[in-house]
Chains A and B, each alone.
Chain A
Amino acid sequence: MTSVLVKDLTLNFGALTVLDNLNIDIPEGEFLVLLGASGCGKSTLLNCIAGLLDVSDGEIHIGDRNVTWEEPSGRGIGMVFQSYALYPQMTVEGNLSFGLKNARMPKDEIKKRVARAAEILQIEPLLQRKPAALSGGQRQRVAIGRALVRDVDVFLFDEPLSNLDAKLRADLRVEIKRLHHSLKNTMIYVTHDQVEAMTLADRIAIMKGGIIQQLDTPTEIYNRPTNKYVAGFIGSPEINFFEGAVEGGGFVTGAERFSLQGYTFQNGAPGGPAWLGIRPEHIVSGEAAASLPVTAEVTIDLVEPMGSDTLAWATFAGMPLRIRMDGQAAVATGDRIQIGFDPARASLFDKTTEERL
């Protein structure tokens, strides 16, 4: 069953089009992540769904209702903000019950709901404190609680973890995922952090310039990016691109030519100028490389050890090449090593349209 439906959504600020004819269908219980660089319109889209921004055109449905003209409080949504947005003069309990009081809910029902939310989020000892006396993680938990008590169908998260330090972010990320598993609500989550997107999402919508570039599962987006932007945006370290051309089932770049055996083209095997993308972690080095369909020998320019793995830089066909190796790999600048990859793991994009071939 559809939980949130965005239909032909357009938003203009004066002459500027921020969202351009968006369509998303979010089934009940799905965790959808809106991912993109800043300014891509992801937060704007969330604000439109929340009803905090009036749309220029299109419809928004939540549950089985058309809520396009509905007030935020009447849409059955709860929202968590990046800056927590807790009411500073109220206690945690006051913060949690504010929305319920506005809805004129009976006192004992409010009490029950606040207690339940506090239990789920483990903030019971903090109920009488003011937000100023809480740590960042606790504040964000209270902010989630404020959405929780309202017993809404849809949770909206606007970069909820961006203000936290790295360790806390990882902890709360897991907690949000747990929460989703136990509550099974529909959640829409805006972030610019691809790790958050990959780990949390059932599906990711990658946005750029007010348009959804690709809406798919994390695996599919990672393995089969639909265009060059998505391929470059997802993955860290960044994917390697080679400029060249597809010719008779092979790829030609500079003086190199190698086979594309195993690569599945979207429609036939066209020729012509193209980009070839291969992720640094899909490049194999050493002995194991020899058995792969594409092999080469390169010189290491630079080594970046990161503990868990090591990133080596080399030059291939006149273009920089990143190779992700095991953290224990013994490589040094100047080494000549054997590399190879499987074309089945590569991605080919048309040179001009940048669409997947």
Chain B
Amino acid sequence: MVDAVIPRGPKPRPRFSRTNIMLYGTLIVVAAYYALPLYVMIVTSLKGMPEIRIGNIFAPPVEVTYEPWVKAWAEACTGINCEGLSRGFWNSVQILIPSVILSIAIASVNGYALANWKFKGSEVFFTILIVGAFIPYQVMIYPLVIILREMGLYGNIWGLVMVHTIFGMPILTLLFRNYFTSVPEELFKAARVDGAGFWGIYFRIMLPMSLPIFVVAIILQVTGIWNDFLFGVIYTKPADYPMTVQLNNIVNSVQGVKEYNVNMAATLLTGLVPLIIYFASGKLFVRGIAAGAVKG
């Protein structure tokens, strides 16, 4: 007790304490673990084939070339078709946009009705819908093939849109219902006293208040549908294959030389859309996920 310091003011926090070293050390290791594959992919995609054959996968490219990217986008062959990934990209966009809009539109109205306009059996209905989320997709694949065939939508992009809309329904409805339940009930009552009906309250009170949850739903759906492989390969024909299926066909082709650089570039291109969505809307996403936890 030589120099007893009188505790006063902010508590001193040493920068290199044992806890901090442990904490940041772990974080750095984990971050490196996840970043390394991405690094390898980017580096490889910028190398020419001769350089790749040398085998130093961690080495940065000696000669940077964008050739693999161009090839992946516009020239890579799947079967007899040599248009590259671009065709798959536009197919995916055509599938994505109507699926996202349709599924979110229906699910938000569902959630709103289940949260605010409780009817006899609405809880049972909701339970059944949620149970649907736990049934493995594989069980429903064949029945859906038959249903789509009977409707004349099998092998059609709209058939796939319908499938995505249906499979998005349980989780999205749950998301919206829980969000709308967190909106104070008195607001809903006030709107009713003010003479707003089902759609009036939905469009003019609830919608403007729920931007964050819509962003969450859009992110979930865009990434989910963009990354979908199974439904894409089952419910469409080769001309309409989404990007993921086409990527698989490029990467897994058994003939000829494995063009690792093209494969890496193709994979990065395919992953670009979800990545951009995350970066562009990260803040809103967090806000939407946290919504309901704090009343605002």
Decide yes or no whether A83 CB sits under 8 A from chain B. Answer: yes
- B184→A85 contact, CB < 8 A: yes
Q: Please, which residue of chain A has its CB at the minimum distance from the CB of B196? A: A102
- B192→A102 contact, CB < 8 A: no
Taking CB atoms, residues of chain B closer than 8 Å to A99 are 193-195
Taking CB atoms, residues of chain A closer than 8 Å to B192 are 51-52, 71-73
Taking CB atoms, residues of chain B closer than 8 Å to A50 are 189, 193
Decide yes or no whether A87 CB sits under 8 A from chain B. Answer: yes
Contact of B193 among A79, A82, A83, A86 (CB under 8 A): A79
Taking CB atoms, residues of chain B closer than 8 Å to A102 are 194-196, 200
**Complex CA–CA separation, A102 to B200 (angstroms):** 8
Q: Please, which residue of chain B has its CB at the minimum distance from the CB of A80? A: B190
Decide yes or no whether B209 CB sits under 8 A from chain A. Answer: yes
- A73→B189 contact, CB < 8 A: no
Shortest distance from the beta carbon of B98 to any chain A beta carbon, whole Å: 28
- B184→A52 contact, CB < 8 A: no
Decide yes or no whether A78 CB sits under 8 A from chain B. Answer: yes
Taking CB atoms, residues of chain A closer than 8 Å to B27 are none
**Complex CA–CA separation, A324 to B42 (angstroms):** 84
**Complex CA–CA separation, A123 to B122 (angstroms):** 42
Decide yes or no whether B133 CB sits under 8 A from chain A. Answer: no
- B186→A98 contact, CB < 8 A: no
Decide yes or no whether B251 CB sits under 8 A from chain A. Answer: no
Shortest distance from the beta carbon of B283 to any chain A beta carbon, whole Å: 19
Shortest distance from the beta carbon of B279 to any chain A beta carbon, whole Å: 27
- A89→B209 contact, CB < 8 A: yes
Shortest distance from the beta carbon of B213 to any chain A beta carbon, whole Å: 14
**Complex CA–CA separation, A71 to B186 (angstroms):** 16
Residues of B169-193 contacting chain A, CB below 8 A: 184, 186-187, 189-193
Shortest distance from the beta carbon of B114 to any chain A beta carbon, whole Å: 18
Shortest distance from the beta carbon of A318 to any chain B beta carbon, whole Å: 48
Taking CB atoms, residues of chain A closer than 8 Å to B190 are 79, 81, 85-87, 143, 146
Shortest distance from the beta carbon of B268 to any chain A beta carbon, whole Å: 40
Q: Please, which residue of chain B has its CB at the minimum distance from the CB of A88? A: B209
Tell me whether A83 and B194 are in contact in the complex, defined as CB-CB below 8 angstroms, given that A88-B209, A89-B208, A89-B209 are known contacts. Answer: no
Query: What total of chain A residues lie within 8 Å of the partner, measured CB to CB?
Result: 27
Residues of A62-111 contacting chain B, CB below 8 A: 71-74, 77-79, 81-83, 85-89, 98-99, 102-103
Decide yes or no whether B64 CB sits under 8 A from chain A. Answer: no
Query: What total of chain B residues lie within 8 Å of the partner, measured CB to CB?
Result: 16
Decide yes or no whether B205 CB sits under 8 A from chain A. Answer: yes
- B194→A146 contact, CB < 8 A: yes
**Complex CA–CA separation, A52 to B193 (angstroms):** 8
- B195→A103 contact, CB < 8 A: yes
- A83→B195 contact, CB < 8 A: no
**Complex CA–CA separation, A98 to B193 (angstroms):** 11
Tell me whether A77 and B193 are in contact in the complex, defined as CB-CB below 8 angstroms, given that A87-B205, A88-B209, A89-B209 are known contacts. Answer: yes
**Complex CA–CA separation, A304 to B184 (angstroms):** 41
- B196→A81 contact, CB < 8 A: no
Taking CB atoms, residues of chain A closer than 8 Å to B196 are 73, 98, 102
- B186→A81 contact, CB < 8 A: yes
Contact of A73 among B186, B194, B208, B209 (CB under 8 A): B194
**Complex CA–CA separation, A73 to B200 (angstroms):** 13
Taking CB atoms, residues of chain B closer than 8 Å to A87 are 187, 190-191, 205
Q: Please, which residue of chain A has its CB at the minimum distance from the CB of B195? A: A73
Q: Please, which residue of chain A has its CB at the minimum distance from the CB of B189? A: A52
- B193→A72 contact, CB < 8 A: yes
As a 0/1 sequence over residues 125 to 148 of chain A, the CB contacts with chain B under 8 angstroms (1 = contact) are 000000000000000000100100
**Complex CA–CA separation, A78 to B187 (angstroms):** 14
Count chain A CB atoms within 10 A of each CB in B187, B190, B204 and give the residue with the most: B190
Contact of A85 among B187, B200, B204, B208 (CB under 8 A): B187
Q: Return 27 A-B CB contacts under 8 Å, by A number.
A: A52-B189, A71-B192, A71-B195, A72-B193, A73-B193, A73-B196, A74-B195, A79-B189, A81-B186, A82-B186, A83-B184, A83-B186, A83-B187, A85-B186, A85-B189, A85-B190, A86-B190, A87-B187, A87-B191, A87-B205, A88-B209, A99-B193, A99-B194, A102-B195, A102-B200, A146-B190, A146-B194
Give me 16 other A-B pairs in contact (C-beta within 8 A), A72-B189, A87-B187, A146-B194 excluded.
A52-B189, A72-B193, A73-B196, A79-B189, A83-B184, A83-B186, A85-B184, A85-B186, A86-B190, A88-B209, A89-B208, A99-B194, A99-B195, A102-B194, A102-B195, A102-B196
B contacts, CB < 8 Å to A:
184, 186-187, 189-196, 200, 204-205, 208-209
Which 8 pairs across A and B sit closest by C-beta, in order of nearness? A73-B195, A99-B194, A102-B195, A85-B186, A85-B190, A89-B208, A81-B186, A72-B193
